[in-house]
Structure 1
Amino acid sequence: MPASMPAPSRRVPIEPLTQAAFEPFGTVIENPARLGAKRPDLDTVKANQGTALKYLDVTHMTNFYHMSPSRKPGAAVMNMFVCSPRKLRTASSSNSSGQQRLFDTTILERHPYTSQTFIPLGLSPESAGAGSAPSQTYYLVIVAPTLPQSRGSKSKRPPPFPLPPPRRRRSIRDIFSRARPSPFTNEAAPPPPSATKGRQEGRPQPRPKGPGLPDLSQLRAFIARGDQAVTYGAGTWHAPMAVVGEEDVDFVVVQFANGVGIEDCQEVELQAEGDGGVAVVIDEGQPGTEGIGIKAKL
């Protein structure tokens, strides 16, 4: 049984999916040249006999399974999800005389020890949610930050996330043993594993998010274009992929996994209080009105 949590009713605006807005949650993968944008953090080289421009390290693939309770190694896996359009419901608009089309969200999930990249196949670059015709197909990205772990929790569930080991005071011997050469041996002391693990070419990898539940007060929703892929950082709370429109969307999904269920994926159900639940407002049901936000009734 997944964990569950209530939340107060609130409304959150829908945003375009951009790297700047999505930065706290992961990476947006797209061609910067098509947007006329520059990504100074991305290095480029010529490839394929000069016929291609290669962007290096466009997303951060992270594997933290060495920090899991089981210590079972994670292996890279690539799956395909064929996602059908979600059912929408219609409700009266709170700020107009029209009707809203709503997408109800009842669950959030996270992958504590791995990043997870969703790459859509076959969607037009012009496919986007806000203001689009009902016949268009697009997908939503719904994410939430992580709350600090509550102190004094008496939960008997297994530790869901890598907690930092308790710090201890270092002795004089510990301090001097890190010197080069070591004063206690004839060999140079190697750097500790933590100094090199989790780094790529001197660039630190994004760290896991922490052991807490999702912070629904900071819930955010994005509408993705068809030419955008998305990487959720390790431990990022997110809704399962949500397709809106009339067509199925195929996603190639790249992540690490070790086959231990609670370490590969954790879920939390959103308990509805009264009628409805977390609902993405797709549109106001009136000509020319764009999708404007999330309505959370919990």
Structure 2
Amino acid sequence: MIELKVEALSREAFAPFGEVIEASEAVQHFTINAGSTERYHDLAGLDAGPAGRLIVSIFRGQPRALPFTVSMMERHPLASQAFVPLSNRPYLVVVAPPGAAPTAQDLRCFLASGQQGVNYATGTWHHPLLAIDAVSDFLVLDRAGEGPNCDEVVLEPTVCIPADR
């Protein structure tokens, strides 16, 4: 079994897969509301796809025990999908580039802080929600509309996320 290295989530490292959603000095931001609010502006290119509409949901993720075996991946070929943590807890993000079904060697694993969200670009392969440590809530922005928008593949061989992250 292949062991995945867990990397810290950063805008640069995650760029091939989508955008990191976070309030940081690296993004455009400015003061609004008579000086009472700092707006971190246009953080992700949300894509509802053809004949789709953006919807807002809350996903409540059960914690995954580490080490964890990654045996499948999914993608949304018609639209992007964004996850923004609401519980201020770290979580894991496993991704592979858009295109053909990924192999174990294509996968990357990121540790996201409780203040970092991710927007998976249309067609990006990713593992379903990987909450760790405790039950965690996420605000999810994704597509509703006609047509199949979730492809799944089984990984052979499987990949392991180690306990020491």
The offset of 1:87, in angstroms, is: 3.6
**Equivalent runs, 1:93-242 vs 2, <5 Å:** 102-123=67-88, 127=89, 138-146=90-98, 210=99, 212-242=100-130
Query: Which has more strand, going by share of residues?
Result: 2
Question: How far, CA to CA, are the matches of 1:46 and 1:250 in structure 2?
Answer: 28
Q: Distance in 1 between matches of 2:103 and 2:86?
A: 31
Alignment of 1:254-293 (within 5 A): 254-260=141-147, 263-272=148-157, 277-283=158-164, 291=165
Partner Cα distance (1:282, 1:24) in 2: 26
Q: Secondary structure of 2:105's match?
A: helix
Whole-angstrom distance in 2 between the partners of 1:32 and 1:269: 36
1:159-191 CA-to-partner distances (Å, cap 9, x unmatched) read: xxxxxxxxxxxxxxxxxxxxxxxxxxxxxxxxx
Q: Is residue 11 of structure 2 the alignment partner of residue 19 of structure 1?
A: yes
Normalising by structure 1, we get a TM-score of: 0.52
Report the CA distance shift for 1:86/1:12 in structure 2 as closer, same or farther (over 3 A).
closer
Q: Percent identity?
A: 36
Q: Match for residue 2 of structure 2?
A: 10
* Superposition misfits of 4+ residues, deviation over 2 angstroms: 9-12, 42-46
> 113, 137, 144: which is aligned to 1:250?
137
Task: For residue 259 of structure 1, report the CA deviation from its aligned partner.
Answer: 4.1
Give the match's secondary structure for 1:20: helix
1:82 paired residue among 47, 52, 60:
60
Larger Rg: 1
Shift of 1:44: 2.9
More helix by share: 1
Determine which of 29, 36, 45 is the counterpart of 1:60. Answer: 45
Query: Quick check: 1:30 aligned with 2:15?
Result: no
Letter matched to residue 10 of structure 1: I
- Counterpart residue type for residue 85 of structure 1: P
Provide closer, same or farther for how the CA distance between residues 16 and 81 of structure 1 changes in structure 2, counting only shifts above 3 A: same
CA contact (8 A) 1:114 1:257 kept: no
- CA offset at residue 267 of structure 1? 0.6
Where does structure 1 lack aligned partners over 5 or more consecutive residues? Answer: 1-8, 34-38, 66-72, 89-101, 128-137, 147-209, 284-290, 292-298
